[in-house]
Amino acid sequence: MIRIENTNKTYQTENIETLALRDISMHIKKGEFISIMGPSGCGKSTLMNVIGLLDKPCSGDIYIDEQKIESYRDKDIAHIRNNKIGFIFQNFHLINDLSVRDNVELPLLYRKLSSKERKRLALEALDKVGLSGRVDHYPTQLSGGQQQRVAIARAIVGKPQILLADEPTGNLDSAMGDEVMGILNSLNQNDETTIIMVTHDEEKARRTGRIVRIFDGQLLH
């Protein structure tokens, strides 16, 4: 599903060059649920950004769905992100001025869909995360766990094959965290969604299929 080959990424800030990823190669199969672990600043987020096509690697190749990413033209990668990848963030990143349903519909705005179809898909996704009763609420009226479930609904509304979750339980207490993990697990098992999750939590990581550790921009095997 995802293949990364000999990928390097450096950041240039004034005079210092920081090496964020060093010659990383990895292969993630369809339907896998892997967690990426490592200390702060080790390059986890950079790796996620590179996989999510939010950041362009300095060298190396990325294959998504067996297709090599050749052009980082805005239009092309936006299309891939929109269709194949869903994002979940540590601090949810919901838009407070939009209702739950409108938040979930957000990725569909960038596809050619009728508003009726958008509504149907959004309700379906909200149903999956068990929030069909909160459709017309606003994010500030929800608990943290509920907010993250809205974010998950938003990530899966476009039926992507890949979910990228950046510390999805980091801002939640353990009960809510378990709830979110449960949803992710069921998505992985029932829908064969490939999930890559960054976490600090050893216990949560153990509930995934594979753990990848990263240190100083390198994979530890």
Partner 1 sequence: MLKHILKMAWKRKKANSLILLELLAAFLVLVGVSAILLHNWGLYNKPLGFNYQNTWSVQFYPSASWEEPSRVRGVNILNMLSQMEEIEGAYTLTFSPFLGMRWNDDVVYKGKTFNANLNGSSDGAPLGIGMKLLKGRWFGPEDDGQSYQAVVINKNLSDEIFGDENPIGKEVDVVKYDQEESEVRRVVGVFEDYRQQGEFSTGSHQMFLRYDVNNTKAWFNAYALVMKPGVPAEFEEKLMSQLNSAAPDWDFEVQTWSQLRRLHINNNMKNVILVAVVGGFLMLMVCFGLFGVLWQNVTRRTREIGLRRALGATGANVQGMIIMELVAFAILAVIVGTILLAQVPLLGVFEIFTWGMFFKSVLLSTVLICGLTALCAFYPGLMAARYDPAEALHFE
Partner 2 sequence: MLKSYFILALKVLKRRKFYTFISLFGIAFTLSALMIVTSFYEDMVYPKGAEKHSERTLTVNRMAFYREDSSGGYLGSIGYALIKDYLYKMETPQYVSGYSNNSTTAGFLNGLKIESQLKRTDANYWRILDFDFIEGRPFGDSEDKQGDYVAVINRTTKKQYFGQQSALGKTIKTGGVSYTVIGVVENESETNEVASADIWIPMFATKKQHFLTNHMGGFGAMLQADEASNVQKIKDEYATTIANYQYPMQKRFPKAYSNAESKFENFARNFFRNHTKKDSGANKLIGLIVLAMVLFMFLPTINLINLNISRIMERSAEIGVRKSFGASSKTLIGQFMVENLVLTLIGGLLGFVCTYFALMFISSSGLIAYANFTINFRVFGLGLLLITAFGLMSGLLPAIKMSRLNPVDALKGAI
For binding to partner 1 (CB under 8 A), which residues are involved? 45, 49, 52, 54-55, 74-75, 78-79, 81-83, 87, 89, 93, 95, 97-98, 102, 105-107, 109-111, 115, 154, 158
CB of 26 to partner 2, least distance (A): 32
Q: Which does 81 bind (CB under 5 to 8 A by kind): partner 2, partner 1, none?
A: partner 1
Between CA 28 and CA 34 the distance in angstroms is 8
Pick between residue 69 and residue 106 the one whose CB is nearest to partner 2: 106
**Site track for partner 2 across 135-174, x = CB under 8 A:** ----------------------------------------
Among partner 2, partner 1, none, what binds residue 109 when CB lies within 5 to 8 Å by partner kind?
A: partner 1
Judged by CB under 8 A, which stretch of 36-44, 48-56, 91-99, 211-219 contacts partner 2? 91-99
Q: How far apart are CA 69 and CA 49, in angstroms?
A: 14
Dist. CA 162–CA 3, nearest whole Å: 13
Residue reference for tokens 């869909």: 113
Choice between 115 and 186, CB closer to partner 1: 115
Query: CB of 74: closest distance to partner 2 in angstroms?
Result: 22
Residue closer to partner 1 (CB basis): 107 or 177: 107
The distance of closest approach from Cβ of residue 36 to partner 1 in the complex, given in angstroms and rounded to an integer, is 16
Quote the CA–CA distance of 46 and 63 in Å, as a whole number. 17
Binder among 4, 94, 142, 172 for partner 2 (CB under 8 A): 94
Q: Which is nearer to partner 1, 95 or 220 (CB)?
A: 95
- Judged by CB under 8 A, the residue of 3, 93, 137, 207 near partner 2 is 93
Gap between the Cα atoms of 140 and 96, Å rounded: 7
Contacts with partner 2, residue ranges (CB under 8 A) = 93-96
